[in-house]
Amino acid sequence: MEDKIQSFIFDYMSILGGPHPEYAPIDEDINEDPDYTNVPGHKSYEGRNNVVLRIPGAGGGRSLLLNSHSDVVPGPEHVFNPRVEGDIVYGRGACDAKGHIVTMLLVVRALYELGIRLRGDLMIQSVIEEETGGNGALSLIRQGYVADAAVVVETSNLEVCPANRGAVWYRLEVLGKSVHMAKYYDGVNAVYEMMDLLRVLRSYEAKLRQESRGVPLFPDDPSPVVVNLGTISGGEWPATVAANCVVEGGIAFLPNKRLKQIEEELRQEIENGAHGWAKDHYTLDFSRLHNDAFSTPMDHPLVQGLVKAADQARGPRPATGFHASCDARLFYHRAGIPAVVFGAGDLSHAHSAEEQVRISDIIKAAQALTLFAMDWCGVQ
């Protein structure tokens, strides 16, 4: 549960010297929302709150929200023992995304300590359930916690990312006909039948990659597009013909495709490409993670302004696409506001046994976001 870290963030915001933060409880009926992501084992949101700090502007400026998440992925116990070695902080959540919470708090401290009053409103959001699909951010959008622009502070290696790839998880199952292996010819082995569908998955991956060549901000080689086979299971006994086989995985796709389009394309690929028994005895669902891709135009003032501010903090670099999915797509598609991804740390370290982030990079990210907030919101 995130209650302890969210309470810590709330308490820290409370002593910064400005407006007090607020808890934003998640509505229990959020699971009826079409953008809600099912979370295995979920029972209730009681006591599991988002934390929001709203800093009213003096007036006459554009509003801005900075968003990141306090939840982390699970792991062995030792990864939760943090350590600092020189400029590097190690531990689960260091770069995904507690380091980004620190970045946002440094922005607030800088503004307060320098006596800077923005003209537009500034909002800081620490949300839950990003790792499982974005229900925390979805809740805030439903409750009206939005602004004229959103910067989702994520692990982008200090690169400004006005676009990110989408990701959808699938579950594919084939039912066979179970018999004793002595009478295998009277049965249908679901594992063998699944092999036919795996051929279709690989074929769809090749097709999707070809159709996604040349998408701005993303490379063609190696392609960020993949139809991943994550887990496979089937059968119940070595001497029994397998009665079922289940494959679960994820599809990573670029902003040239929308989420529903990907889901429909895979269904059609299976319908058109499967043979024999498998075609009539499979089920396919997308009931878990379903993150859309998005792309804010490069010439948007949000993108141009953040690139300029980031260049001042860490040196000139071009904007690029974000090779993971995150809550930014909810602000872009659901809230209808421009969004970018930006933050310290390298994605290769996120979720790893040696997760880490450089303190100096957190400071650079905070410098860039402070400069950008002053430019975007205006200064009194």
Report field, pTM of the whole predicted structure over 0.85: yes
Cβ atoms of 52 and 145 closer than 8 Å: yes
The amino acid at 89: V
Q: Which residues pair with 84 in a beta bridge?
A: 89
Cβ-proximal residues to 322 (8 Å cutoff; 6+ apart), any chain: 154, 156, 161, 163, 164, 165, 328, 341
DSSP label at 63? -
Percent of the chain with pLDDT over 90: 96
Instruction: Tell me what the mean pLDDT of segment 219-245 comes to.
Output: 97
In angstroms, the CA 67 to CA 153 distance is 6
Burial of 286 per CB tally in 10 Å (0-12, 13-18, 19+): middle
Write out pLDDT tens, residues 260-276.
999 999 999 999 999 99
Instruction: Tell me what the mean pLDDT of segment 186-197 comes to.
Output: 97
Where do the CATH 3.40.630.10 domains begin and end in the chain? 3-164+293-377
User: In the CATH hierarchy, which top-level class contains the domain 166-290?
Assistant: alpha beta
| Predicted pLDDT of residue 187 | 97
15: how many CB neighbours lie within 10 A of its CB? 7
Least confident of 39-53, 151-165, 175-189: 39-53
173: how many CB neighbours lie within 10 A of its CB? 19
In angstroms, the CA 212 to CA 207 distance is 9
Residue 312, pLDDT above cutoff 90: yes
Cβ atoms of 332 and 162 closer than 8 Å: no
| Predicted pLDDT of residue 2 | 84
Residue 15, pLDDT above cutoff 80: yes
| Predicted pLDDT of residue 146 | 98
Distance of CA 97 to the CA centre of its chain: 11
In angstroms, the CA 101 to CA 109 distance is 12
Cβ-proximal residues to 74 (8 Å cutoff; 6+ apart), any chain: none
Residue 1, pLDDT above cutoff 80: no
DSSP label at 186? G
3-164+293-377 CATH fold: Aminopeptidase (3.40.630)
For the sheet with 356-358, list strands across it: 83-85, 88-90, 356-358
Helix axes 99-113, 3-14, angle to 10 degrees: 10
Give exposure, 343-375, as e/b (b: 16+ Cβ within 10 Å): bbbbbebbbeeebbbbeebbbbbbbbbbbbbbb
| Predicted pLDDT of residue 176 | 97
| Predicted pLDDT of residue 26 | 95
| Predicted pLDDT of residue 193 | 97
Instruction: Tell me what the mean pLDDT of segment 21-30 comes to.
Output: 95
Where do the CATH 3.30.70.360 domains begin and end in the chain? 166-290
Q: How confident is the model at residue 41 (pLDDT cuts 50, 70, 90)?
A: confident
> Between β-strands 150-152 and 339-341, what pairing exists: parallel, antiparallel or unpaired?
parallel
| Predicted pLDDT of residue 40 | 85
Cβ atoms of 170 and 266 closer than 8 Å: yes
Instruction: Tell me what the mean pLDDT of segment 298-314 comes to.
Output: 98
Cβ atoms of 326 and 154 closer than 8 Å: yes
Q: For residues 167, 173, 174 and 177, what is the CA-based torsion angle, rounded to 10 degrees? A: 170
| Predicted pLDDT of residue 305 | 98
